[in-house]
Amino acid sequence: MSSPAELLDAVREEAKPGLWSLGVNLARAGAVVRESEDANEIVLRVKVSARPVPWTVVLYPKDLAWECNCPSKFDPCEHSVAAAIALKEALAQGSTVAAAEARFRRVTYRFVRVDAGLQLHRTIARPDGTEVELPGTLSALLQDPAEARALQVEQFDLLADRLLERRTARALPPERLEALLTVLGPATTVLFEGRPVAVSQEVVLPRAVVEDDGGGFKVSVTRDPRLVDVVSAGVGLTEDTLCRLGETGFTGAWLERLPWTRTFSGAQLGELTGKVLPDLERRFPVEVQSPRIPRVDRELKPRMLLEVNHVEGGLSVLPTLVYGAPPHVRIDNGRMVHLKGAVPQRDEAVEQRLLHRLRDELNLVPGRRTNVTGPDAARLANSLSKWSGGLTGDGARTLKKTRLVPSMRLDSTPGAQVPSVGFALDFTLEGAEAGGPRSVDAAAVLRAWKDGLDVVPIEGGGWAPLPREFLEKHGERVAALLAARQADGKLANHALLQLDAMCEALEAPKPPGLEKLKPLVEGFDTLPEPELPTDLTATLRPYQRQGVAWLQFLARAGLGGLLADDMGLGKTLQAACVLGPPVHAERSRSVPASASPHRSLVVCPTSVLPNWLRELARFRPSLKVHAFHGPSRRLDDSADVTVTSWALLRLDAALLGAKRWDTLVLDEAQAMKNPDSQVARAAYGLEAGFRLALTGTPVENRLEELWSVMHFANPGLLGGRRDFEETLARPIAEGQAGASSELRRRIRPFVLRRLKKDVAPDLPPRSEAVRYVTLSEAERAVYDAVFAATRAEVVQVLESGGGVMKALEALLRLRQAACHSALVPGQTAKRSSKLEVLLESLATVAAEGHKALVFSQWTSLLDLIEPSLKSADLGFVRLDGSTPDRGAVTERFQAKDGPPVMLLSLKAGGTGLTLTAADHVFLVDPWWNPAVEAQAADRAHRIGQDKPVMVYRLVSQGTVEERILTLQEKKRALFEAALGEGGVQTALTKDDLLGLFEAVGPG
C-alpha cells in the first residue's frame, strides 16, 4: 500500500518547478483544509486569495493519483501540490489536515417560523464556536481582503447570496424560499428553530390509492406519511429534513386540499383507466389495490379506423378513434369505452391531430356514418386511397388490394395503303379482392387521371386504384387513340402511328399493314420518289420533289397534312402537283374533262386568287380550273379544280360543304386560326378525302391557332380544344419540361417545314435593319399626351379583368401617335418625322434603280403617304382591301417599266403575292407578331428573286415601338416551341402589355 510520502514523491516528479514552488507557498500559508476522508480518498480544499470558493483536490494515496477541479492545463497543478504537501506534513506530525471549520469562518443558515412561513437569518460561525450576524450581503463582506482570507464560502453560498440581496423582515416569499432550498448544498450548515436539519433535494409528493367501492371504484389522494409538518407554502418538514412539496397545484400550497377522494361507477372504468389514473400517475405514485382494474399498456397508440363499404352508387364510411390493433378501447365524444384487454394511457394531443386530419383530408367526423354518391363519392374514394390509417370493409379491400390491367382489342381490315382498324381499350380488375372479372372503361380511367384522382369507379360498384405507372408512360397516347376513334369504332388513319406504339407498349401483335406507315416514323427522307403529273411544266427542286412525295404518301394513306415551308419556297407549286386526278389515274388528253371523277377545292385569300389561277394555268395546263368567285358565281361540277376565297367559303359554307371533294387545299390557313370563327367552322365542315393546309405561319399568337389548323387536317390528332389547352398549350406556356417536345412528336409526321436558308442556298441574302426616327417637339407632345391617357385606360382595362384584345385596341392610338400625329383624333399635323425618313429612303432607292414595298397596317397611314409620294414625284401603285383588280396592280408593279414604289396594307398584301421586282421592304409601323411582318417581307424574298433584299423597320425612339421589338422575340419563341426546337413559349399576356408602358415612357 502506498503512503502519503510516496504520493508526494509522485506529485513532485510530475510537477513543473514553478508550480511546485507555488504549491509549497500555499501549503505554508495554511490554505489547505480537510473536507472529508475515508480509506480510499481524501478530499481537501485549497483556498487561494483570488477566489472566494476554494478549489477541491481529491487525493488517492493507494493509487498514487490525484485530481483537481481547477481549469489548469497542467497536471499536477499548484493546488494538487499544496494538498499533497499538507497531507504528508500532517501525518508526519501524527495528525491529519485540519477541518475547514477549525481554520476558516463559515456561513450558517437559521430558519425560524413567523406568520405565514419561514424567515432566514445568516450568521458567520468562527472557529472558536462563536457566531455573529451577517451584517449585509456576503458579496459585500468579501470585498474586505481580511474577511475574504478568513472566510470560506461555497458556490451555493454565493448563489444563495444573490437570492437574498433583497432583505425582508417578514416570511420569505414562496418562490424565493423554493429557489433557496434548491441551491443549498449538503455541506451547508442549516438550523430550523435552532435544531440542525438537512435540506433535501427530493420533492415530496402525495400518494394515491385505488380500491374497490361496491360495484365501482374509489380513488383517494393523501399526503406523504413521512411529512411531520408543513412549515411554509410549498415547504414541508420530515423528522430532520426540510423539503419542497410537489404538485401543490393539485394539493394546495399547505396541503389544504388533501385528502382528495372521488368515486367512479363500473361504466366509468374507461375514463378512470384511460384518463384519470394516467393523469394522476404522471403527477405522483398511484397504488392500485383493486383487482378489477385492467393493466395499463403504454405502448397502445391512438389511430383512426375507417370502415368503408360500397352502397348503391357510392360509398359508406364510418370513422372510429381507437387504441390498439385490434382495438382495445374506442373514444366516443371524448370518453373512453373499454372493449377488451389492457387499457392505454391516453394521448389527447395525438387524438386531436387525428381528428383534425380526418376533418381536413376527408371532411369526416368520428362516430358518424357518412354516405356519399356521384362525384362526391369519387372524390372521397380518391382521398381514402391516400389515407395512411386503417381501412376495413368491402370497400377497403377493393381500394387497397386490386389493380387495373389494360386490355386492348383490335379489328383490322386490310386496305390498299393502310389497314382500317377498329379499336377498343378497357381495364380489367385483377387481385385477390376483385370478386370475379370486372372491367373499367378506358375513358373513365382517363377522366379520373386527368382530374388528379387516384381511383376510378368499377362497373357493378366499387372503386379501384388507377394504374398510375402505366398512365404516366402511356396516358397521353391512350387519350389520343380514344380521341381518334370514329363513330363506327374505327381509328382515324392519323392515329395508326399511336396504335403502333401502343402495340409495342402492351406487347400485342400489330395489325398487318402498319409497316406501310414507317416513312412517317423514320423520316421523310425514306419516302420513294414522287410520281409527278405528266402535264407538269415546272422543274422541281429536290426539296420540292420531297414535298410532293410526302403529299402523295399522305393522300394515299388517307391522312391530312400541313405544308409549312418558309415563305417563298413554292408551297403553291407543290400543292398543285397533287390536284386533279391521281397520277396513276391521269386521264388521257383525248378524254373529255367532264369524264374526270376527281374534284379538288382550293380556298385562298381573295388577294391571291388570281395568282392561283395563273400558277395552275402555267404549271398544270391540262387541268380544268374553275374560279368560284363574283356575284354570279356557281359551281362547275366538270372542273378538276375549283378555286375560291376564304370570304366565299364563309358565305357559301352550305353549298361547298354539300359536295365531297377528293382533295381540299386551304392556302394561308392561318385565316382559320380562331376555331370559333365562322370561316373555321366552315372549313371543318368540308368533306374531303385528302386535306392539306398551306401556311408559313401556323402559329402567330397562341398555340390554339396550331390546334385549329391541325384539327382541320387530321381531326382528333391533338385531342379536343380543352384537352389540348390543359395537356400541351398551358404546360408549354409555363415552361414545363418536355411539353414542347411532346407537341412536336405528335405533329411531326403530318407537318413538313423547310427554311430558305436550308433548302434554297442560291436564294440571295435578306438583311434586316432598324431605322430609328426622332420625333419633333410637337410630335413628342402629342405622343406624351396620348401615352398618359392610353396608359391609364389600359391599366384600368387589364386590372378590371378585361381581355388582352381590348387592351390592344386601346393601344392602337398610342402606336398611331408614334407614326403620324394626324392619325390621332383631333390632330391636323401636316408633317411626320417618320414619313420624312421614309420618303428620303424611297427617293434614294428609286434613284439607284431599285423598287420598294411599303407596308402599313392602316390604310389611313397609306392615305397620308400618297400625297408625299406625289409631291416627291415618285411613281407608285397601291394594293389594299378595296383594290378591285389586284392582279393588274401586281403585274404593273412587276413590269420592268413599272413604278418604283408599291404601297400595301399588311392585311391585304402580306400573304400570297409574289413581288420579286422589289428588293427593298419598308415596314412603317412595327407589329407585335414577327410572323406577320416576315410574311410581308417575303413577298419580295422568294423563289425567283435574284437580288439581295433589304428589310427596314421604322421605329420612333422613346415610344412603345421600341418595346414592341423586344416583344417580337417572345412571339418567335412561340413559333419555335411548336415547329422548331424551342423549349419554352410565352404568349402575349397582360403583363406583356403593362410592360410596354413600364419600359418606355414619355420623353
DSSP string, 315-366: EEEEEEEEETTTTSEEEETTEEEE-SS-EE---HHHHHHHHHHIIIII---T
Q: Which residue has the higher pLDDT, 452 or 863?
A: 863
Write the burial class of residue 600 (CB in 10 Å: 0-12 exposed, 13-18 middle, 19+ buried): buried
Looking at residue 803, its pLDDT comes to 60
Looking at residue 25, its pLDDT comes to 94
CA distances from 864 to 518, 828, 829, 884 (A): 57, 11, 10, 21
Looking at residue 287, its pLDDT comes to 92
Question: Could you report the per-residue pLDDT of 628-652, keeping only the tens digit for each?
Answer: 998 899 999 999 999 999 999 999 9
Record the pTM: 0.52
Q: Which residue has the higher pLDDT, 1002 or 102?
A: 102
E strand residue ranges, 345-462: 370-373, 390-392, 403-413, 420-430, 439-441, 455-457
Least confident of 225-239, 386-400, 782-796: 386-400
Mean pLDDT, range 732-752, rounded to an integer: 84
Q: Which residue has the higher pLDDT, 220 or 849?
A: 220
Least confident of 402-411, 543-552, 588-597, 709-718: 588-597
| pLDDT band with cut points at 50, 70 and 90 for residue 968 | low
In this predicted structure, the answer to whether residue 584 has a pLDDT above a threshold of 70 is: no
| Range picked from 300-304, 606-610, 746-750 for highest mean pLDDT | 300-304
In this predicted structure, the answer to whether residue 545 has a pLDDT above a threshold of 90 is: yes
Among residues of the chain, what percentage have pLDDT more than 70?
Answer: 89
Looking at residue 641, its pLDDT comes to 96
Mean pLDDT, range 985-996, rounded to an integer: 58
In this predicted structure, the answer to whether residue 416 has a pLDDT above a threshold of 70 is: no
Q: Which residue has the higher pLDDT, 593 or 720?
A: 720
C-alpha span between 327 and 333 (Å, rounded): 17
| pLDDT band with cut points at 50, 70 and 90 for residue 597 | low
Looking at residue 244, its pLDDT comes to 95
| pLDDT band with cut points at 50, 70 and 90 for residue 592 | very low
Q: Which residue has the higher pLDDT, 208 or 50?
A: 208
Q: Biggest alpha carbon distance in the chain? A: 152
Least confident of 582-596, 680-694, 835-849: 582-596
Least confident of 348-357, 776-785, 961-970: 961-970
In this predicted structure, the answer to whether residue 99 has a pLDDT above a threshold of 70 is: yes
| Range picked from 266-275, 535-544, 923-932 for highest mean pLDDT | 535-544
Q: If you count them, how many residues does the chain have?
A: 1003
Looking at residue 976, its pLDDT comes to 62
Question: Could you report the per-residue pLDDT of 127-149, keeping only the tens digit for each?
Answer: 988 999 998 899 989 888 888 88
Please give the helix or strand (H or E) that residue 992 lies within, else none.
Answer: helix 990-999
Using an 8 Å Cβ cutoff, are 152 and 54 in contact? yes
C-alpha span between 447 and 944 (Å, rounded): 53
Helix (H, G, I), strand (E, B) or coil at 782: helix
Identity of the residue numbered 913? L
Q: How far is CA 601 from the centre of its chain?
A: 48
The number of helix segments (H) and strand segments (E) in the chain equals 38, 42
Q: Find, among 560, 588, 592, 563, the residue nearest to 576 by Cα.
A: 563
In this predicted structure, the answer to whether residue 752 has a pLDDT above a threshold of 70 is: yes
Question: Could you report the per-residue pLDDT of 481-529, keeping only the tens digit for each?
Answer: 888 788 888 888 887 877 888 888 888 888 877 777 777 766 667 788 8
| pLDDT band with cut points at 50, 70 and 90 for residue 580 | confident
Mean pLDDT, range 78-83, rounded to an integer: 96
| pLDDT band with cut points at 50, 70 and 90 for residue 42 | very high
Looking at residue 350, its pLDDT comes to 93
Looking at residue 399, its pLDDT comes to 65
Average pLDDT over the chain, rounded to whole?
A: 85
| DSSP structural state of residue 294 | P
Looking at residue 974, its pLDDT comes to 58
Question: Could you report the per-residue pLDDT of 435-494, keeping only the tens digit for each?
Answer: 556 778 888 888 888 877 777 777 766 777 788 888 888 888 888 888 878 888 888 888
Using an 8 Å Cβ cutoff, are 769 and 952 in contact? yes
Q: 61: Cβ–Cβ under 8 A, 6 or more apart, which residues?
A: 2, 3, 4, 6, 7, 42, 87
Q: Find, among 604, 598, 668, the residue nearest to 639 by Cα.
A: 598
